[in-house]
Structure 1
């Protein structure tokens, strides 16, 4: 089968829908940096491929940490018992020694067997015979990691698929808390929806704070907002609070600040070109909801191009410091960083 041109989400939905209708391929290779879609597809196949009454005889779940290639091939070559098909699932396949040997079966799979190979945080080399066999005789799902700027949009789309509208600031806060881990976002969303009053259709930032257990008041989301509006006292207060938290990660915080100032830099350049329209804004502020455009307009006035370049350079230096390049504690480093950003003047900013 030729490799599919759909994006990962579209391909996932198609496979899940096919599974619900009892339509299966003989081979599935589910892999990639992001495990949300591979796991979702695998579960859909397990839920729909074999009836509950037949699972004891015609469903086999194996793990790469405790199974050999020979065992997988032996299971896959068995014929189903009193059924049209059997299901063999190999989880944690990236941990199996000699996985490439599975190509012997995948080059000529049985029509009566559905073989699912699930890899977490890993992928097959596309040059191998095994990968080519999956492409030819089945379906390959390669799920790439999400980028920071994609998360807010993904969250809003995910909530819409559940029949819920989530406000942009609520989506941004949930994204900050969960990072780019779609499995974690889906888990938090599930907990949130179960705790909402019946009939709820809109999710506010208050719902996120109450049910997910995070505070908007002291978050990188609010820190960026304070910096973008030039609120020095507020920014330093937030920096001190979040950097003293037990789970604080300065590299992660610096990465989010970097994204913010990179956007300000691009937006400022756009404004200076005097070619500002909705399309050009969307291109420059990739992944940013129009709800936040006003904030970036204000920030672009506060931080000119030279200031942004200097601050981005400063962030790179402090990223190094936070990873062991300084004897100072992370909380002290972070407050110092925010102070330097606030006091930034055009031109070179000296580092520590």
Structure 2
């Protein structure tokens, strides 16, 4: 039976709590999902939860490893220790035959080996995948992509774990300025943590928006806000200049498209929220944007129809796919997307 998205998110949180309390409770862990940062943290925590020496640790990557090598490493008797640790990153990149060999081991997993299989997604139609997923030896943990509001909540929880008390407007500002990549947000919290140093005499470290804007470079934040404004005004020249600056700073083209899509999803939510009579902070909460940006988002949303916003989001999805698969220069796909967005209204969707 398929698990719902919310239940998978809660299972992910429960996984970290249980692992911290009792260590690994299964011989095989299958770590999947779109949130690569959380997958990485899960693997790190699992590795840290068992004490193994260098003779008993093996790490493989799916695109490079052979199934027989993985099975051989996982089947070995621990040397000068009680446990072996075998990690397979990008397990989804294993060839079908190699995955079948891993599945055979999983079905008779050795109690002395902790096998960690990690990858974004597995094709559930493959028999080897079905065998792995159905094995009683396997604990499956999935980390689905978090929505903007959930990312804000994650930032607040992550900060709390560092002993930071964030002002209410800080998480949405960070998400608006840096995007929804958890790794980028975690690095921002680390910089804030290091900047503040030891807690005050009351044991608290308050983080205000002014402090965050001082510590976190505003270059990218300005680019995000300026690009949103330029695109909402269908200003192709200004949009192209901002994108060019982002690429010169070696920002990811796929990240740029993700950011554009996120901004236009906010505009679509703003149209829907206004139709419901939402204004001010209520509308900001509905859209998932900081209160200080809500007027700009409202203004930008009024420049587009619902149909135009849906069309732009489809074009963003297409550009994302081309950036991941096409051999043409990334800049060409980005410029094509800007041209489509900045066309006069009567040409949208043509």
TM-score normalised over the length of structure 1: 0.70
Residue 316 of structure 1 and its aligned partner are, at CA, apart by 5.7
**2:306 alignment counterpart:** 309
**2:261 alignment counterpart:** 255
Q: Measure the CA separation in 2 of the matches of 1:145 and 1:173.
A: 19
| Deviates most, 256-265 or 163-172 | 163-172
The structure-2 alpha-carbon separation of the partners of 1:259 and 1:167, relative to structure 1 and needing over 3 Å to count, comes to farther
Q: Measure the CA separation in 1 of the matches of 2:332 and 2:5.
A: 49
Q: Secondary structure at the match of 1:62?
A: strand
**1:202 alignment counterpart:** 206
The answer to whether the 8 Å contact 2:270/2:298 transfers is yes
**2:182 alignment counterpart:** 182
Q: Measure the CA separation in 1 of the matches of 2:246 and 2:269.
A: 29
The answer to whether the 8 Å contact 1:36/1:182 transfers is yes
Structure 1 unaligned regions, length at least 5: 341-347
Picking from 206, 211, 215, the partner of 1:211 is 215
The answer to whether the 8 Å contact 1:170/1:204 transfers is yes
Q: Measure the CA separation in 2 of the matches of 1:195 and 1:5.
A: 36
What are the Cα deviations for residues 105-138 of structure 1, in whole angstroms up to 9, with x where unaligned? 111212222111122x332426534444344222
The answer to whether the 8 Å contact 1:261/1:308 transfers is no
1:80-119 aligned within 5 A? 80-81=78-79, 83-97=81-95, 98-119=98-119
Q: Measure the CA separation in 2 of the matches of 1:258 and 1:102.
A: 43
The structure-2 alpha-carbon separation of the partners of 1:266 and 1:287, relative to structure 1 and needing over 3 Å to count, comes to closer
1:106-145 aligned within 5 A? 106-119=106-119, 121-125=120-124, 128-135=127-134, 136-145=136-145
Q: Measure the CA separation in 1 of the matches of 2:89 and 2:78.
A: 20
Structure 2 residue 261 is the aligned partner of structure 1 residue 264: no
Q: Measure the CA separation in 2 of the matches of 1:13 and 1:350.
A: 46
What are the Cα deviations for residues 134-176 of structure 1, in whole angstroms up to 9, with x where unaligned? 4422211222233455433332332233332334543334224
Residue 104 of structure 1 and its aligned partner are, at CA, apart by 0.9
1:154-165 aligned within 5 A? 154-165=154-165
**1:71 alignment counterpart:** 69
| Deviates most, 147-156 or 39-48 | 147-156
What are the Cα deviations for residues 279-330 of structure 1, in whole angstroms up to 9, with x where unaligned? xx68x955627x6399369938x966x9543652684698689989x99995
1:266-281 aligned within 5 A? 266-271=272-277
Q: Measure the CA separation in 1 of the matches of 2:211 and 2:40.
A: 27
The structure-2 alpha-carbon separation of the partners of 1:155 and 1:227, relative to structure 1 and needing over 3 Å to count, comes to farther
Q: Measure the CA separation in 2 of the matches of 1:313 and 1:130.
A: 35
Residue 29 of structure 1 and its aligned partner are, at CA, apart by 0.9
What are the Cα deviations for residues 18-43 of structure 1, in whole angstroms up to 9, with x where unaligned? 44433431111112222122211211
Q: Measure the CA separation in 1 of the matches of 2:118 and 2:150.
A: 25
**1:292 alignment counterpart:** 291
Q: Measure the CA separation in 2 of the matches of 1:5 and 1:207.
A: 35
The answer to whether the 8 Å contact 2:152/2:171 transfers is yes
The structure-2 alpha-carbon separation of the partners of 1:333 and 1:222, relative to structure 1 and needing over 3 Å to count, comes to closer
Q: Secondary structure at the match of 2:245?
A: coil
TM-score normalised over the length of structure 2: 0.70
Number of aligned residue pairs? 323
The structure-2 alpha-carbon separation of the partners of 1:78 and 1:25, relative to structure 1 and needing over 3 Å to count, comes to same
Q: Measure the CA separation in 1 of the matches of 2:110 and 2:117.
A: 15
Residue 46 of structure 1 and its aligned partner are, at CA, apart by 1.2
